[in-house]
Structures are given as structure tokens and as C-alpha cells.
Amino acid sequence: MRLTAITAAVALVAGAAFAETVAPDDVVYGEYGEVNESLTGVPGDADNGRMVFSTKSKGNCVSCHAVAQLPDVPFQGEVGPELTWTGEARSAEELRGIVANAKHTFEGTVMPAFYKTSGFIRPGDGYTGKAPEGDLPPILSAQDIEDLVAFLLTLKEE
Amino acid sequence: MKFKAMTAIAALLFAPAAFAGGADDDTLVVNGDIEMTTKAPAPAHLDGALDEIISGWHFRSDETQQLQTDDFENQGMIFVDQAMDIWNTAEGSEGKACADCHDDPADSMTGVAATYPKWNEDAGEVRTVQMQVNDCRVNRMGADAWKYDATDAISMEAMIASHSRGMPVNVAIDGPAAEAWEKGKEIYYTRYGQLELACASCHEENYGNYIRADHLSQGHINGFPTYRLKNAKLNGAHSRFKGCIRDTRAETFSPGSDEFIALELYVKSRGNGLSVEGPSVRN
């Protein structure tokens, strides 16, 4: 009890910097699939976004997208469009919506939804092939999404 | 619009040679003798989903393709030889070998792989080759059933397939098989798992594209069982299905399950017209 009260008080004092993380089911998508509010209130870290983009166990975005700015990452895929100019072509709001759940922007797209936890058919426990025990976490965390948006915004022709 | 055009130009500039995409134009002749049909018009029941059906062989590297052109280089043939030993060995309470009833498989098993999975009237079920072999083992030999896709079962399936090499796949999808075929079709187009991808998302919408280091084929099973360089053994179609579904972060089905039997019938029918290649070589 007392602990909860203290935690709550700290949260109040900390204010905006510790703004509540928006849960996957609570994300508000606009008419074109864009998401206006940050999912965490913490500015994105482009370096971490770059790591999430190219790491198999994280976003693994390179499996489908090529990016000229990552020459050290081998075997970039071609299922999705090349993203070398995404930072010029898309706004942060559009990118946040696309990365969180691209189905709102591109109907029926093969691009997976990275910040979604419900509505799946036979979801598994990661890549084990088995059913999950308990609740399914989203593939990426809210901060991973923000970091990816920051990284994608750096992708411009030089 | 402008973005799309730029993307297309850049793709041309940046794409390394290996990313040429699409199926190649090579032709497959095995042992200088068996001419394989590796591209064919899509069967009518695909309703225009594909214009042309293309064997997975076309999407592999020249080195991997080469291994399938000669039985001395095709390591899958080692398992075919092993299955011949089993074929001639008596097993079970009846003291019978496959050979006692089926003689030379080069005669008795010709064309079998091209038409399976197949409806069995007496059993009232669609049977895969492995199910039929197990039926002979259990009910005619008094031997134990082999585990689905385990070494003995898959080696025997490869041996049986090898006697249909070059013949066109031609599974029946109408009549009593129609129900299983429809079920298989539904599975093929269902977007499973947390990645929400269907077989069609990769093998119909994106064949010819690279997904990371993998060159996506149309996912046919005319080449099964396949000898894969990756795990240096023969792989069954159901095990391949299982791996593909697992990779969508989904709960898979099991080899030998009703779902995979139905899916095998449906996927095999998509390749009606391609030559039976089993055992083929893949990476």
C-alpha cells in the first residue's frame, strides 16, 4: 500500500518525462494510419533504432527492406520498398503508424504489425512453434518504435 | 509517386548482382537422361493466382542446381539406396518384405508419387505416400508404423518418388478429395502467427524476391523429399511446412496432422504439371 502511494507520488512529481507508455490496444490511428502522439514521451534514439532495424531478434526490418545507409549489413531483402529516402518522404507521425501497425496505412500489407498484441491466428511463443503461455508481448517495445522512427527520419539522400 | 520512381532507380543502382531476382532460364536434365519440366502453365484451379508455375530448383544457386543433375552428386540418392535395403528386408509378424508383394519398385512404384496424396476409398481418407506405406506395414506386414518424416519413412518416400522422376505431378482434387483440398486451400491463405503471414504472402505474392538471404520460390513440393545442404538430410514436406509456419511466430501443426495432409494435397495440386523431382537438392 505505502509503496504504491510513494510510486504514485514520484510519478506525479516526475511529470511529463515519465508520461505513461501507450499500450498496443490504446494506440490511436488517424485516417491514413498515422499516429500523432509519441508512444512513450521519450525522444527516440536513432542509434538504437538502427540496431533494432538490422537485428534479427528485434525488428529484422532488413529482411524485407534495403537501406543504402547500412552498407555493413549483408543480405538486405526486397519484399518491401527500399527505405533509403524515407526520412524525406514520410513524417514522424506517418512512420510511427507504419512501424506500429502498417495495416492501417497499407490495407492487407504483408508487413507485420510490430506493436500489436491481439487478433492473431494461432500466435506462437516467438520462433518456438509452440503456443505462448500467458499474454503475448508486442514484437517491439514502445520505445523501440520511437527509436525506429528517429532512425528512419535520418534516412535522406546525401 | 516521385518516391516510387526514385526507389526503382535506386534499386537498379544499389542492387548487388546476386539480387537479380526472379527465376533463371536454366534447364534441368538429370543423369543426362531425365528431362524435367520445371516451368509449366498454371493449372486452371489456381484461378489466375499465378501465370506460370516454376519449380523451386530455378531459385537456387548454380552450385546447388548442379548437384541435382547427377545421382552421384545428389546426396539424397544415398537414402534411396538405404530404402532399397529396407524394401528387400522382411519385417513384422508376417515375415514379409515390401518386395514380396511389390517386386521391383522400378515397375510397381512408377507414377505413384505423381498422384499422391490420393483418396483411398476403403479407408475413406486422403492418404499421403507415408500413410499408405504405414498401412502396408501395420496391416499387411504386422510391423510398427514409422514416425512421420523420420529417417526410414522419408527415405522410403524418396525411393518411391525417384521412380516417378520426370513424370508430371497430377493429383486429383475433385470428388471425395475436394473437401481436404478446400481445407488445404484455406490454410494456404490464412495469415498465421504474430507476423500474420500466409503461405501466399511469401510464395505467391513475393516469389522471386529475396527475404534476407533467401530467394523466395513458389513453394512447390514436386521436389520432395528434398535433400537440404543446410541440415544434410532428407526433409519431408510436412517438416518444411512446420518450419515455414514456425517462422511466422505461430503455433505450428504437426507432421502427419490432418491439417498438413490437407495442405500437402493443396500445395501439391498447385504444382500439377511440373515434373516430380524427388529427391531434389535445395539449400
Express each pLDDT in B213-251 by its tens digit.
Answer: 999 999 999 999 999 999 999 999 999 999 999 999 999
Alpha carbon distance B228, B231 (integer Å): 6
- Say which residues have a Cβ less than 8 Å from residue A73's Cβ, sequence separation at least 6: A54, A62, A67
Please tell me which residue of chain A has the smallest CA distance to B20.
Answer: A78
Q: pLDDT by residue (tens digit) across B265-281?
A: 999 999 999 999 999 99
Residue B199 is a catalytic residue: no
Which contacts of A55-61 are long-range, i.e. CB under 8 A and separated by 24 or more positions? A58/A140, A58/A144, A59/A114, A59/A139, A59/A140, A59/A144, A59/A148, A60/B212, A61/A148
Q: pLDDT by residue (tens digit) across A67-125?
A: 999 999 999 999 999 999 999 999 999 999 999 999 999 999 999 999 999 999 999 99
Q: At B275, list the grid cell.
A: 515434373
- Say which residues have a Cβ less than 8 Å from residue B249's Cβ, sequence separation at least 6: A123, A124, A126, A127, A139, B193, B194, B195
ipTM summary value: 0.88
B279 upstream amide cis, omega within 30 of 0: yes
Amino acid at B61: S
To the nearest whole Å, the CA of B227 is away from the closest chain A CA by 23
- Say which residues have a Cβ less than 8 Å from residue B258's Cβ, sequence separation at least 6: B183
Most B CBs within 10 Å, among A75, A130, A133, to test the B interface: A75
